[in-house]
Structure 1
Amino acid sequence: MCNYTMNHIQIGVLSADNEGSEFLGNSWGKKGTSTDITIYTTKNQQFLQTTIIPNGFPKKMLPLIITAHMSDAVVLGVSKIGLDHYTGEMAILADCLNLPGVYSVLGDDTIGLNLYLDQMKKAFSKLSLSNWDGLMINNSKGFIDAKEELYSKYKGPRGDLDKYLAIEVDHAFPVQGVGSVILGTIMSGTVTKGQKIVAYPSEQSGQVRSIQVNDEEVKSASVGTHVGLALKGILPRYLQRGTVIATPNEDKVIETQEISNIQIKKAAFGKPPTIGQRIHVVSGLYDSPGEITGWNSTASIKTDKMIPYHPDNRLTILDLNSKPAVLGSKQK
């Protein structure tokens, strides 16, 4: 058993084409946990790579937001029928989150559809996506080129190795003979076997029984790594998606219903919200309805539910009754 130190990159596939997304996911790794998002993993000399695809978008926005919030870089993919308003929604989200990436036409039969790449380049000209490359990812060379481009844009994890511990849970379930098991991304710090922890917002206390990375048991894992943890003392119902696992008495990880003066990148398109307007907030991977309490150079919000919050999390504000739905995202 060792301390896990390999670089880990999480690549999200932002697409309304479920078939094309699944084609890319299967081409890039072994299929793992699948709910409203599906996770694929593969390992090479440079990285342990996790690929995440949203299931159910465009009928549901949340899988798309969760995928983007988990990602270090993204592939923005259109289907073989071309660009639509969902393409714009995905582009606005990637722009607000300042995500690096590439754009592509997804699927195994996309020969002759390069014209869509030119259309995307023109459509994204006013966004940060204007400096992305357009690639056809429909053969072995395309898969390699896309990986190399995404790897080259990876600047490292958002958080720091030596700071507070924050693990954002994406899945939790009971395992007979083991107890509660979670899958999650270490957004900051290092987790160690035997470490005492607290889950927010439930404030349930427990202990790390064991740690796995890519089905390999390890003594510890650090920021940027997608891990599986077996936990002692906390039931799965207190570990729902978006729960943040931290160390006891850590003041950087909080639970709150009010966040003020958020430095936010506003959506380049769409109508700005008004004070008192009902919204939906995704903080890390935790979501809640809420309302706007301030919207000028910064944003202030109040949520219906208590939500976990920490300095290195992502936060996106949505109006689910509007197109585009994305209003803006927190800047680090």
Structure 2
Amino acid sequence: MTALAPTSVEDKFYAVTEILTVSDTIILSTDSLDRLFGELLIASKLLDKKVLFTDDNADSELIKNAKLSNYEICGKERLLDGILKENAKGDGSGECRIDLDKAFNVKGIGTVALGIVMNGTVNVHDELWHSSGKKALVRSLQSQDVDVKSAGPGTRIGIGLKNMDSDEI
């Protein structure tokens, strides 16, 4: 399980949309029902994501009118149980899919791409296929600035790639 939260919602709304896009479950908890809460509610509906509301601010009429297809209201003390129950990422089996959000060149290493493993498992020396059809070899993997040999679903990773330039990603 990976938890993501924007550090400054008002300054960088794009960070919020990036987080919503890669999330399987969205938690909406706020002290006030304001414009931002409404925007997040609409984005959650448009992305058709599972939404967990905390019961201290869940307005049942607002939620009903939003016509969300998949939501749950739970107390803050049960929130972690609700998240763990989802177990949306699975066990790492299946075809590997990595959503990349940044790519750049590092002197002495080559092309590095940053992203989140959405499905399956990626290993050092695996061959990955870009959506363009080009094949790349995984030279190295890092998660949280630590070298790793493999990474499963929900893991934010840095991938050292061979046979692909950063401008191709």
Alpha-carbon distance in structure 2 between the residues aligned to 1:71 and 1:55:
20
CA distance in 2, matches of 1:175, 1:100: 39
1:213 match: 143
State which of 134, 138, 157 in structure 2 corresponds to 1:227.
157
Residue of structure 2 equivalent to 1:93: 43
Matched, 1:83 2:33: yes
C-alpha change, 1:151 and 1:83, in structure 2 (3 Å) is closer
1:172 corresponding residue in structure 2: 103
Distance 1:191 1:130, change over 3 A: closer
Tell me the distance in 2 between the aligned counterparts of 1:95 and 1:10. 21
The aligned amino acid for 1:185 is I
Task: Tell me the alpha carbon deviations over residues 59-101 of structure 1, each in whole angstroms, 9 at most, x when there is no partner.
Answer: xxx54332112113323244x6x32344223113223423242
Change (3 A) 1:196 1:54: farther
1: CA distance, partners of 2:120 / 2:163: 22
Q: Give 1:300's aligned residue.
A: none
Q: Are 2:50 and 2:71, in contact at CA under 8 Å, matched by a contact in 1? A: no
Q: Among 84, 102, 105, which residue is 1:152 paired with?
A: 84
Matched residues in 1 for 2:15 and 2:97: separation? 21
**Matched residue, 2:26:** 74
Q: Cα 1:184–1:95, aligned 2, differ >3 Å: closer, same or farther?
A: same
Q: Deviations over 1:196-244 (max 9, x none)?
A: 222223x3332100111222212222233222211112111112xxxxx
The answer on 1:11 being equivalent to 2:29 is no
Unaligned runs of 5+ in 1: 1-8, 14-20, 24-52, 105-113, 136-144, 240-332
Compared CA separation, residues 130 and 225, structure 1 to 2 (3 A): closer
Query: Does residue 65 of the first structure (1) align with residue 17 of the second (2)?
Result: yes
Name the CA shift for 1:186/1:229 in 2 (closer, same or farther; >3 Å).
same
8 Å Cα contact 1:199/1:238 also seen in 2: no
Distance 1:87 1:175, change over 3 A: same
Greater RCO structure (CA 8 Å; 6+ sep): 2
Q: Percent identity?
A: 24
C-alpha separation in 1, matches of 2:161 and 2:84: 35
2-side partners of 1:162 and 1:147: how far apart?
27
With over 3 angstroms needed to count, the CA separation of the structure-2 counterparts of 1:184 and 1:231, relative to structure 1, is same
1:84–1:164 Cα change, 3 Å = same
- What number of residue pairs does the alignment pair up? 166
RMSD between aligned residues: 3.1
CA distance in 2, matches of 1:218, 1:171: 19
Is 1:22 the counterpart of 2:7 in the alignment? yes
Normalising by structure 2, report the TM-score: 0.76
Q: Which amino acid aligns with 1:131?
A: E
Distance in 2 (CA, whole Å) between partners of 1:238 and 1:54 is: 32
Q: Which amino acid aligns with 2:72?
A: N
Return closer, same or farther for 1:216/1:22 CA change in 2, 3 Å cut-off: same
- Distance across 2 between alignment mates of 1:163 and 1:55: 38
- 3-state SS in 2 of match to 1:11: coil
Look up the match of 2:72: 131
Report the Cα offset of residue 133 of structure 1.
Answer: 2.8
Counterpart of 1:231, as a letter, is: L
8 Å contact kept, 2:24–2:49: no
Of Structure 1 and Structure 2, which has the larger fraction of its residues in strand? 1
Q: 1:245 — aligned with what?
A: none
Check the 8 A contact 1:55/1:63 in 2, yes or no.
no
C-alpha separation in 1, matches of 2:10 and 2:124: 31
